[in-house]
Structure 1
Amino acid sequence: MSKTVYQAIGGRDAVEAVVADFYDQVLSDDQLAPYFEGMEMSELRAHQVQFISSVAGGPVEYTGDDMRAAHAQLDIDEADFDAVGEYLHDALERNGVEPQYVERIMSEVAALKAPILGTPATND
């Protein structure tokens, strides 16, 4: 039986380290920080751990809101979505996730661009 991405990257501890690093970066970005004002960050962090764990094949099912519903009121633009993606990519790399696993996780994130932005899906 082959390992899941979740197992290969180090499981829950690794995902939690990535999420902590990711939010440290996002919240220190003056362009992105306003999106998180008034948000319950411990809840957001827990959802992010759940999401990454789920897309990486961990023993977790993402139970958060539908991506469009969760982000509709934020009016996120493409540049901000891309910046958040870069921070996640960087956090994965900084926390020792091997490139092939970074790319697999990021492909799942890229698939969420249209729902999060509220735009029609494209075949980029």
Structure 2
Amino acid sequence: MNKSLFERLGGREGISTIVDNTVTNHMENPAVKARFLPLKDQPQRLAIIKSHTIDFFSAGSGGPATYTGKDMVTAHTGMNISPGEYMHVMDDIFKALDQNGIDEESKKDVLAILWSLKGMMISK
């Protein structure tokens, strides 16, 4: 029996670690860190963003989760994210997947999800 992407990512605990690693990667990435470093001084806001991200990826990968955050267009409107920034963010996510030993098939599934969201986030 095939495991869901949620299970292959390590369930909620694994996704939580991947999100933590991704945020750290964003804060260290010269191309996008200016967007993320201010969150260090806003720990409550950062915790909410991480929680929503964990719920979003848990629900979207077949896990028992309910996402209650904003839709992607609403959440990213006004941010004017460039295509290049989006690619850097994707690179940071894949670095986190590698840091957590996620297999190639699962990484391809994550790529499909991220690619499907691209138009909802870029230049909004």
Q: TM-score, normalised by structure 1?
A: 0.86
Query: What value does the CA root-mean-square deviation take over the aligned residues?
Result: 1.7
Larger fraction in helix? 2
Q: What does residue 74 of structure 2 align with?
A: 69
Number of aligned residue pairs: give it: 119
Q: Structure 1: which 5+ runs fail to align?
A: 120-124
* Cα distance between partner residues in 1 of 2:16 and 2:123: 28
Q: CA deviation at 1:32?
A: 1.3
Return structure 1 stretches of 4+ with deviation > 6 angstroms. none
- SS of 2:78's equivalent in the other structure is helix
- 5+ residue gaps in structure 2? none
Pairs within 5 Å for 1:94-109:
94-109=99-114
Amino acid in structure 2 at the alignment position of 1:77: S
Within the candidate set 84, 93, 109, 2:89 is matched to 84
The equivalent residue for 1:35 is 35
Aligned residues with identical type, % of pairs: 24
Distance of aligned partners of 1:88 and 1:75 in 2 relative to their CA distance in 1, 3 Å threshold: same
Corresponding position of 1:22: 22
Instruction: For 1:74 and 1:34, locate their aligned partners in 2 and report how far apart those are by CA, in whole Å.
Output: 12
Q: Is the 8 A contact 1:19 1:45 kept in 2?
A: yes
